[in-house]
């Protein structure tokens, strides 16, 4: 504790001299260290505080201005101003130090070196920052450093040799938030992709040419690397061409930046502050015109990160939502499915801008309340869904084409095709869904009237057996979508839930029933010709198996005779 106190006091001394004498922090530190001897741990901690504070000085000063109401930086005492600078850096960047320790140390130093009111002044601002931001706003620098030890990244750095390259965007953002990411975006300085080709050969791969300025390498380890050429004379100019401020962070891929990433981070103004504040804001207003998919990406980032979209951006989405027409259906589908991956996707689509944008894309009214009700059910907090959680979760995770059953179910609940025969067709066309995805949505839509008939006021076992035999696996999606379609009807919820319970109870019998009699045997026993009648009889036998009315071959044949004679 004493060593850290001395290190903070040394930091204050250096920052004070830098502020008053207008010398560099490095020069001021060199002078002090030539006159006084400090323990290695004191010097090391102080040097880190000084370098970090100086590197992020504009951002730190912006934070001070925001929280020190009625005070400008110039009006503050120099001691107070610099204690706040390094203490805020410590609060927001050094996760391993408890916030209470940082604030107490700052207050004690302010009392010792400042005015009579310095301790109270410093404490008020730092405590307000701590309360409003909380521990969740602390960036995970140690996690970022750990991620930089990725052998794939190390291999590329070695392969590129002296060629300049920067890691940019999502990987840095996600790592600083403590989120897992295996996708690397790398900007190359130069006019060719020669280092990329050499790197790909090391892994027995060939770069995928997505366009003249973009190459992609997908490795067996499950990570993806995208390489682009720097378009402008400076990296900063390139970063200003990106979409959102939180995606403009960059790191030079050399050994120094990888060992101390927080001291070498590059970013346009407000990028780090927006990341700390959880804000999604445009780099420039032109960004939406450059790529209208960003209209939708803003909501995808909101759903993935839990950030808030800046008011100006929301207003621009309301103004420019029609420009989404210029984006391919494939790109739109990917963004929408990523949004729907969130367990509470509906909560992130409540703004009128989201509704207007989605209705433009899907060409049909959306019912956000249905989606939110479905997601509430799928929290599995109430019966019978809590006991069905393992089976339901496993079922809904299964792949269907390029999506999952869960994502398609959410899309159905959002657009409620039951209310309009053309709604399902519009959705599948708007997103250019594959055959399997389209078939599922169409089947669920077609099954809905049969479900309604089967549970009219009470469960009709015979009709339920018909529904289960026709619905098969899509029984689950149909019932859940139907529940979402009538969120206020408790009786309807109970009846649909019972059908789902019955499906899982008799799942093997519904999907893989024992073969009591074959079509050829029916033709022989009944003396009928091959044709649709045989399929109808086999379906009736399957329905009777589901309801438990028959279990033996003889029973199946007797039922077949009754069906043939229309006595069933």
Write the CA distances from 341 to 388, 403, 514, integer angstroms.
20, 10, 37
Assess contact for 169 and 247: CB atoms under 8 A: yes
Cis before 384? omega within 30:
yes
User: Do 241 and 191 sit in the same domain of this protein?
Assistant: yes
Q: Are residues 411 and 469 in the same domain?
A: yes
Residues 506 and 542 in one domain: no
Domain end among 277, 298, 330: 277
Work out the pLDDT band at 568, boundaries 50, 70, 90.
very low
- DSSP class of residue 307? P
The two most distant CA atoms of the chain are separated, in Å, by 111
Q: Do the Cβ atoms of 344 and 312 come closer than 8 Å? A: no
Residue 372 lies in a domain: no
Q: What is the pLDDT of residue 462?
A: 85
User: Is residue 378 assigned to a domain?
Assistant: no
Domain's final residue, options 80, 108, 135: 135
Residues 130 and 146 occupy one common structural domain: no
Q: For 230-242, what is the mean pLDDT?
A: 90
What's the pLDDT score for residue 282?
A: 96
pLDDT level of residue 372 (50, 70, 90 thresholds): very high
CA distance 249 to 232: 16
Tens digits of residue pLDDT in 440-497: 999 999 999 999 988 876 777 888 999 999 999 999 999 999 999 988 888 889 999 9
Query: What residues make up the domain containing 36?
Result: 2-135
In a domain, 178, yes or no: yes
Whether 371 maps to a domain, the answer reads no
Percent of the chain scored above 70 by pLDDT? 96
Residue 80 CB contacts under 8 Å (≥ 6 apart), including other chains: 110, 114, 115, 118, 121, 122
Same domain, 158 and 272: yes
- Please tell me the predicted confidence (pLDDT) of residue 41: 92
* Shared domain check, 186 and 106: no
At how many degrees (to 10) do helices 405-415 and 385-397 cross?
Answer: 110
**227-237: average pLDDT:** 91
Number of domains in the chain: 5
- Buried-state track 285-304, b at ≥16 Cβ within 10 A, e below 16: eebbeeebbbbbbbbbbbbb
Which residues, other chains included, contact 419 with Cβ-Cβ below 8 Å and sequence gap of 6+? 485
How many Cβ atoms sit within 10 Å of the Cβ of residue 81? Answer: 20
As given in the structure block, the two tokens for residue 406 are 């869960």
Residue 282 DSSP label: B
Q: Assign residue 208 the CATH number of its domain.
A: 3.30.460.10
The residues with which 175 forms a beta bridge, in sequence order, are none
* Structure tokens, 280: 């999604």
Same domain, yes or no: 52 and 70: yes
Exposed e or buried b for every residue in 442-481, given b needs 16+ CB within 10 A? ebbbebbebbeebbeeeeeeebbbbbbbbbebbbbbbbbb
Tell me if 299 is assigned to some domain: yes
Peptide bond into 414 cis (omega under 30): no
40 and 123, same structural domain? Answer: yes
Q: Which long-range contacts (CB under 8 A, 24 or more apart) does 532-536 make?
A: 533/564, 536/563
Mean pLDDT of all residues in 212-227: 88
C-alpha closest to that of 265 among 241, 242, 246: 246
Beta-bridge partner residues of 265: none
**Cβ neighbours of residue 126 under 8 Å, at least 6 residues apart?**
84, 87, 88, 91, 102, 103, 106, 107
Do both 271 and 151 map to the same domain?
Answer: yes
Q: What is the pLDDT of residues 281-301, one digit of tens each?
A: 999 999 999 999 999 999 999
Q: pLDDT, tens digit, for every residue of 546-555? A: 999 999 999 9
CA distance 293 to 538: 50
Nearest 5°: CA angle at 523, between 517 and 527? 130
CA dist 537 and 535 (Å) reads: 5
What pLDDT was estimated at residue 567?
A: 47
Flag whether 370 is in a domain: no
Give percent of the chain with pLDDT exceeding 90: 61
**First CA to last CA distance, the chain:** 88
- Is 141 exposed, middle or buried, given 0-12, 13-18 or 19+ CB atoms closer than 10 A? buried
- Judge if 432 and 486 occupy the same domain: yes
Is the Cβ–Cβ distance between 501 and 464 less than 8 Å? no
CB–CB of 503/467 below 8 Å?
no
Domain end residue (candidates: 236, 256, 277):
277
Asked whether residue 369 is domain-assigned, the answer is no
Percent composition of the chain: helix, strand, coil (DSSP 3-state, to 5): 65, 5, 30
**Distant-in-sequence, close-in-space partners of 255: CB < 8 Å, separation ≥ 6:** 157
CATH number for the domain harbouring residue 325: 1.10.110
Beta carbons within 8 Å of 254's beta carbon, 6+ residues apart: 157
Q: What is the pLDDT of residue 43?
A: 92
- In a domain, residue 119? The reply is yes
DSSP helix/strand/coil, 228 = strand
User: Same structural domain for residues 6 and 52?
Assistant: yes
Burial of 192-202, coded b for 16+ CB within 10 Å and e otherwise, reads: ebebbeebbee
DSSP secondary structure letter of residue 266? B
Instruction: Give the pLDDT mean for 200-211.
Output: 91
What pLDDT, in 10s, does the model give residues 92-144? 888 788 899 999 999 999 999 999 999 999 999 999 988 876 555 567 777 78
* Judgement on whether residues 348 and 396 belong to the same structural domain of the protein: no
Tokens of 511: 């999907």
Whole-model pTM?
Answer: 0.82
């Amino acid at each position: 504790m004493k060593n850290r106190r001395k290190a903070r006091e040394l930091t204050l001394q250096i920052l004070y001299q830098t502020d008053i004498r207008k010398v560099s922090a490095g020069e001021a530190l060199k002078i002090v260290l030539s006159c006084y001897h400090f323990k290695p741990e004191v010097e090391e901690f102080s040097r880190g505080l000084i370098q970090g504070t100086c590197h992020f000085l504009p951002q730190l000063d912006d934070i001070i201005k925001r929280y020190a109401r009625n005070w400008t930086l110039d009006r503050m005492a120099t001691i107070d101003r610099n204690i706040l600078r390094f203490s805020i850096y410590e609060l927001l960047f050094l996760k391993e130090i408890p916030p209470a320790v940082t604030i107490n140390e700052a207050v004690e130093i302010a009392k010792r070196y400042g005015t009579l009111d310095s301790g109270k002044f410093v404490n008020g601002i730092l405590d307000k920052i701590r309360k409003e931001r909380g521990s969740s706003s602390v960036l995970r620098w140690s996690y970022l450093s750990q991620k930089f030890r990725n052998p794939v990244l190390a291999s590329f750095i070695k392969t590129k040799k002296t060629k300049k390259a920067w890691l940019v965007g999502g990987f840095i953002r996600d790592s600083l938030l403590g989120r897992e990411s295996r996708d690397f975006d790398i900007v190359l300085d130069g006019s060719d992709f020669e280092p990329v080709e050499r790197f790909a050969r090391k892994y027995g791969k060939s770069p995928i040419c997505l366009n003249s300025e973009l190459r992609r390498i997908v490795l067996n380890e499950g990570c993806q690397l995208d390489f682009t050429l720097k378009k402008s004379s400076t990296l900063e100019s390139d970063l200003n061409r990106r979409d959102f401020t939180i995606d403009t962070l960059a790191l030079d891929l050399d050994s120094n930046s990888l060992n101390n990433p927080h001291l070498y981070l590059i970013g346009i103004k407000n990028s780090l502050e927006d990341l700390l504040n959880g804000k999604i804001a445009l780099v420039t207003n032109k960004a939406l015109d450059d790529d209208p998919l960003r209209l939708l990406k803003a909501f995808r980032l909101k759903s993935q990160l839990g950030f808030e979209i800046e008011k100006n951006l929301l207003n621009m989405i309301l103004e420019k939502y029609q420009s989404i027409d210029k984006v391919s259906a494939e790109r739109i589908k990917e963004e929408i499915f990523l949004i729907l991956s969130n367990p509470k996707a509906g909560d992130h689509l409540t703004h009128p801008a989201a509704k207007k944008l989605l209705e433009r894309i899907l060409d049909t009214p959306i019912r956000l309340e249905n989606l939110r009700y479905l997601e509430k059910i799928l929290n599995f907090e109430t019966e019978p869904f809590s006991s069905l959680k393992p089976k339901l979760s496993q079922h809904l995770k299964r792949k269907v084409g390029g999506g999952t059953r869960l994502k398609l179910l959410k899309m159905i609940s959002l657009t409620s095709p039951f209310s309009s025969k053309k709604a399902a067709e519009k959705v599948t066309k708007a997103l250019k869904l594959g055959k399997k995805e389209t078939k599922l949505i169409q089947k669920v839509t077609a099954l809905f009237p049969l479900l309604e008939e089967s549970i009219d006021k009470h469960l009709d076992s015979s009709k339920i057996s018909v529904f289960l035999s026709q619905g098969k696996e899509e029984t689950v999606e149909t019932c859940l979508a139907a529940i979402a379609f009538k969120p206020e009807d408790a009786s309807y919820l109970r009846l649909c839930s019972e059908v789902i319970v019955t499906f899982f109870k008799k799942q093997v019998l519904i999907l893989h029933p024992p073969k009591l009699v074959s079509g050829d045997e029916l033709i022989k026993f009944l003396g009928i010709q091959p044709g649709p009648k045989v399929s109808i009889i086999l379906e009736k036998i399957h329905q009777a198996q589901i309801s438990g009315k028959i279990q033996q071959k003889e029973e199946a044949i007797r039922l077949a005779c009754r069906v043939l004679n229309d006595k069933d």
